[in-house]
Chains A and B, each alone.
Chain A
């Protein structure tokens, strides 16, 4: 596997105290669309911003398209198309102005390509950015990132401000562009249903650590959910985390070795897990481990 983005023992500490991330080892395969998921404060934005050189690692190293952004930020930025977390367009400029602006800042920026994506998303080129909705601004941001023709796309929670239809359109454009051009995309998001359809790989971050790093297919095949309580004495080594269902019933995410049918000696109430359950189970497990670590440290 050739990795487009790599993290080796990466750690980021703010104000010499708080570690946003620590000991992160990751590799995002070239040509993949990878979802980066985790609770607020888990370090998703920090990791993405570090790959583009906006943050300096406190420890470990990163590679962006084979380039260390700490040593060669220009090189890293030149390899990346980035969609920031909050819409950050110039409110007084039109969409066309933004395409022109990108052209002045980036050699090789393709304004025609970006304009085609904007028009496909039914956004008027003459509209001022300040008049666009948050979702439309995110879509313009995506079009600008695609217009760079960068091999790597970093998307920092672009779906947060989009309505369901706009989200679909956004993901459709993204997936199509990535597949057509052979790009690599890393998409951080909370919206797991959309991730399942658009992404082929899943990374779960929890409180500064990597909790899961698998393909979507592997993530689904290697986890199951047990409805009802689980006896820790029977399956302690399999339990990932416990969490309530939307109606309040206790659910437990457990690991399995493969996608084989549920064995006869399986736990009572064991069934295939949804991707959302896999993610939530790992987040819950991460939270419990974190609390245990804190208690031990205290």
Chain B
């Protein structure tokens, strides 16, 4: 297996090196940003009523703004990492071998195509998972460094843009690329279709979670104190008897609201931040499950298809 792993790395060295170098650079830059923000305490700087920074912050404001800008830009790039890494590493993995004919040689040598598939896929999944996990952790740290007064373990801030969901999302996109590549056997077409299909699958996981599972966990919040730490699902009007109604339902019950406006309190339906880990874990498991199914589908296709 060691020899096979080494050869897989050599066959895909450009993609693996590109993703690894990008990850290492991101980690290095992020570590520097987090270290500076943590040590300087710049994020705790507050201005007075005229907007003037407290004295200790004045001499670091120039660099501080730049560091915060790097932090924000880095965080905004994190959600596209699963697509970039997943497509670059997963897309060509099987498709290019069929496209270029190397699968013909390999499959004629190997009585077990499954062995070939495992040799190719396993090392790349390890790289994908490891780099994506690093990026997910980095995103967590960057956010934590910027928002020091928030417990991110109990907050939906940056939901889908940090932590383990970056890793599972990357594996899902990578597995999509592998499975689609096994079916199409054409690299460019695989990249395009996997981009669309992977995006749809990630969206579907989140949508299904919100439509199917989250309603049971929804809490009615009548405080009107919006907080980033909670995940807001929808809003309703609360009738005097306590029941909740949508605008359409309200109009049906009380048509006068069309002219007079709704005279009922507007309440939020939200998932409290304390549920973050549970929701994150459920979506991560769903993404891993779909990725596993796609990898199995890819294996079945490889075992049955013509080598091109």
Name the CB-closest residue of A to B2: A104
With A and B bound together, what is the CA distance between A164 and B111 in angstroms?
34
Q: Is the CB of A93 within 8 A of B7?
A: yes
With A and B bound together, what is the CA distance between A103 and B102 in angstroms?
16
- How near does chain A come to B40, taking the closest CB pair, in angstroms? 46
**A98-113: contact bitstring with B at CB < 8 Å (1 yes, 0 no)?**
0011111110010000
Q: Which residues of A contact B119 (CB under 8 A)?
A: 104-105
**A79-104: contact bitstring with B at CB < 8 Å (1 yes, 0 no)?**
01110101111101100010011111
**B111-154: contact bitstring with A at CB < 8 Å (1 yes, 0 no)?**
11001100100000000000000000000000000000000000
Q: Is A241 an interface residue (CB 8 A)?
A: no
The segment from A15-23, A24-32, A70-78, A225-233 found at the interface with B is: A70-78
Q: Is B3 an interface residue (CB 8 A)?
A: yes
Q: Is the CB of B3 within 8 A of A84?
A: no
Q: Is the CB of A109 within 8 A of B109?
A: yes
Q: Is B72 an interface residue (CB 8 A)?
A: no
Name the CB-closest residue of A to B12: A92
Q: Is A47 an interface residue (CB 8 A)?
A: no
- How near does chain B come to A158, taking the closest CB pair, in angstroms? 12
Q: Which residues of B contact A100 (CB under 8 A)?
A: 3, 7
Mark out the residues of chain A between 127 and 172 whose CB falls within 8 Å of any chain B CB in the assembled complex.
141, 144, 148
Name the CB-closest residue of A to B110: A105
Q: Is the CB of B109 within 8 A of A102?
A: yes
Q: Which residues of B contact A49 (CB under 8 A)?
A: 306
Name the CB-closest residue of A to B108: A82
Q: Is the CB of B111 within 8 A of A74?
A: yes
Using a Cβ–Cβ cut-off of 8 Å, how many residues does chain A contribute to the interface with B? 32
Q: Is B307 an interface residue (CB 8 A)?
A: yes
Q: Which residues of A contact B10 (CB under 8 A)?
A: 92-93, 97
Q: Which has the most chain B C-beta neighbours within 10 Å: A81, A105, A109? A: A105
Q: Is the CB of B109 within 8 A of A105?
A: yes
Q: Which residues of A contact B100 (CB under 8 A)?
A: 88
Q: Is A55 an interface residue (CB 8 A)?
A: yes
Q: Size range of the interface on B? A: 20 to 34
Q: Is B32 an interface residue (CB 8 A)?
A: no
Q: Is the CB of B104 within 8 A of A103?
A: no
Q: Is the CB of A104 within 8 A of B108?
A: no
With A and B bound together, what is the CA distance between A237 and B3 in angstroms?
62
Name the CB-closest residue of B to A101: B7
Name the CB-closest residue of A to B1: A104
**B1-17: contact bitstring with A at CB < 8 Å (1 yes, 0 no)?**
00110010011010000
Name the CB-closest residue of B to A141: B105
Q: Is the CB of B11 within 8 A of A52?
A: no
Q: Which residues of A contact B108 (CB under 8 A)?
A: 52, 54, 77, 80-82, 84
Contact of A78 among B101, B106, B111 (CB under 8 A): B111
Q: Is the CB of B306 within 8 A of A55?
A: yes
Contact of A144 among B3, B102, B105 (CB under 8 A): B105
Name the CB-closest residue of A to B100: A88
Q: Which residues of B contact A80 (CB under 8 A)?
A: 108
With A and B bound together, what is the CA distance between A268 and B145 in angstroms?
100
With A and B bound together, what is the CA distance between A88 and B119 in angstroms?
18
Q: A92-B13, A93-B7, A106-B111 are in contact. Are A101 and B106 (CB under 8 A)?
A: yes
Q: Is the CB of A97 within 8 A of B110?
A: no
- How near does chain B come to A106, taking the closest CB pair, in angstroms? 5
Q: Is the CB of A93 within 8 A of B11?
A: yes
| Besides the known contacts A92-B10, A106-B111, 20 further A-B residue pairs in the complex with CB atoms under 8 A apart | A49-B306, A55-B306, A77-B111, A80-B108, A84-B105, A84-B108, A86-B101, A88-B100, A88-B101, A88-B102, A92-B11, A97-B7, A97-B10, A100-B3, A100-B7, A101-B4, A101-B109, A104-B3, A105-B106, A105-B110
Q: 20 A-B pairs, CB-CB below 8 angstroms?
A: A49-B306, A54-B307, A75-B111, A78-B111, A84-B101, A84-B104, A84-B105, A88-B101, A88-B102, A88-B103, A88-B105, A89-B105, A90-B11, A92-B10, A105-B106, A105-B109, A106-B109, A106-B111, A141-B105, A148-B109
